[in-house]
Every structure is written in structure tokens, then in C-alpha cells.
Amino acid sequence: MSNVLISPSILAADFARLGEEVRAVDAAGADMIHVDVMDGHYVPNISIGPVVIEKLRPHTKKPFDVHLMISPVDAYLEAFAEAGADIITAHPEAGPHFHRTLQVIKKLGKKAGAALNPSTPADVLDPVLEELDLILVMSVNPGFGGQKFIESQLRKIETIRTKLDRADLKTILEVDGGIVPGNAQAVIDAGATALVAGSAIFGKGAARYAAEIAALRGR
């Protein structure tokens, strides 16, 4: 079994029982909890904000891996940090001052991530590579769970893996969208060190959370 990190996306959980769902995936072996924040502006869907993260915080000690699909982003970073986010990931496509966004996240004492849409090239990362604690490659277009994995993103994961290895960086390389046990190994082989999965875990019912998380770890 690989030592890839598994970050279940609570977007696919039962929102009426979120605390219980977070405790269940924690007990089932999740390494982090992926929180998708959508604003109905940067992406065509609306999910949750800092208040929900704050209420979930006492339910687990695992890191909150917060994926911000919002624009503008800078004005909200402090609220997410105070709510209990551990890693805060933003999209460079969401605003003109991404370097500033990263500096604000780090000043707040949190780990900083960059998320790339499927059409965004890996080279966008070059000027900020050393500033990043996490790189999130989106393998679906952001906005919705349950979409099909976009195969072309495997090449982008390989490209980023090469960049990180050349620079001797231990940055987490996370892949998000359409991950299922059937493609997880290919994503790991391409160089990912963390996998986000929503429907592949929460869609199967609580009795199967541990088995699904184990299946995503691959060989």
C-alpha cells in the first residue's frame, strides 16, 4: 500500500450530519479533511463558509485541507484561518495578486496551497514554487462533486512531479476530482502524494468508509 494521504471531500457528505460524517471518516483512516468552499461567482455552485468549519473543528484533530473556490479571496483568509483551517488553498486564476494571497496565508500561520484548473498550465507555479506547501491539481472543472476524471491531467501531475523533484521540494502534490479506486494508482504513479475523494468515499455509506479509503491507497 502506498503512503499517499487521503483527504475525503465533505462536499459529498450528508450536510445535515456533518459532525458525525467528519468523525466517521477520521475513524476510517482519513489523513486530512478536504473542505470545498464555493461562492457562486468563481464557480457555479455555493457550498459552505467559515462558520461551518468553526463548528466542525472540535469533531476531529486531523488537518482541515480547505480548498477555496472563491473570488476575491484575500478578504476572507483571516476568517478561514480563525475558523480552524490548517492548509488554505486558493486558485491563482481567481485573482491578480496570487503571490500576495500566499503571503497572507503564511502570515496567518497556515500552510499555503495553489489549485490549478484543468486548463491552467503547470508553469503558472514557477514563480511561486518555493512558497507552496501544497499544489492541488484539479482533475475535474471546479464546482461539483461526482464528475468524471479528466485523463489529460495525469501529464500535468507528472510535469509538476518533475519540477518538485528537480528543486528538491517536499511540497504535497494533491489531486482533486473524479478519483476512484480504479484510477487512484495511475494518479499515484504520476507523482501525487495526496488524493481528494468525495463521492468515492461518502457515496458508499458509512459502513464502507474504511474500505474505500484503503482502496484509494493503491498498491
The catalytic residues are 36, 176
Which residues, numbered 30-89, are part of the site for ligand DX5 (CB under 6 A)? Answer: 34, 36, 67
Q: Which residue is nearest to Zn ion (CB)?
A: 67
- Residues in CB range of 94: below 8 A, 6 or more apart: 42, 68, 69, 70, 71, 72, 73
**Interface segment toward ligand DX5; rule CB under 6 A; list 90-98, 125-133, 145-153, 154-162:** 145-153
* CA–CA distance, 189 with 172 (Å, rounded to integer): 15
Q: With binding defined as CB under 6 A, does residue 143 bind ligand DX5?
A: yes
- Cα–Cα distances (Å) from 88 to 34, 72, 182, in that order, read 10, 14, 28
Task: Name beta bridge partners: 136.
Answer: 115, 174
Cell numbers describing residue 209: 468508509
Q: Does 113 bind ligand DX5 (CB under 6 A)?
A: no
Q: Look at residue 174 and give the partner it binds from ligand DX5, Zn ion, none, a contact being a CB closer than 5 to 8 Å depending on partner kind.
A: none
**CB nearer to ligand DX5: pick between 72 and 203:** 203
For residues 90 and 30, give the distance between their C-alpha atoms in angstroms, rounded to a whole number: 22
Nearer to Zn ion, 113 or 167 (CB): 113
Judged by beta carbon, residue 169 or residue 180, the one nearer ligand DX5 is 180
Question: In angstroms, what is the minimal distance from the CB of 115 to ligand DX5?
Answer: 8
Residue number with the smallest Cβ distance to ligand DX5: 198
Instruction: Indicate whether 12 belongs to the interface with ligand DX5 (CB under 6 A).
Output: yes
Looking at the Cβ atoms of 84 and 177, the one nearer to ligand DX5 is 177
**CA-wise closest residue to 4 among 184, 198, 202:** 184
CB closer to ligand DX5, 67 vs 163 = 67
Least CB distance to ligand DX5 at residue 210 (A): 17
Residue 92's binding partner among Zn ion, ligand DX5, none (Cβ under 5 to 8 angstroms by kind) is none
Helix intervals (H) in the chain: 18-27, 50-56, 77-83, 98-107, 153-166, 181-190, 199-202, 209-216
2 binds ligand DX5 (CB under 6 A): no
Closest residue by Cα to residue 141 from 101, 102, 178: 178
Classify burial at 99, counting beta carbons within 10 Å of its beta carbon; exposed 0-12, middle 13-18, buried 19 or more: exposed
Residues of this chain that interact with ligand DX5 (CB under 6 A) are 9, 11-12, 34, 36, 67, 140, 142-143, 145-147, 176-179, 196-200
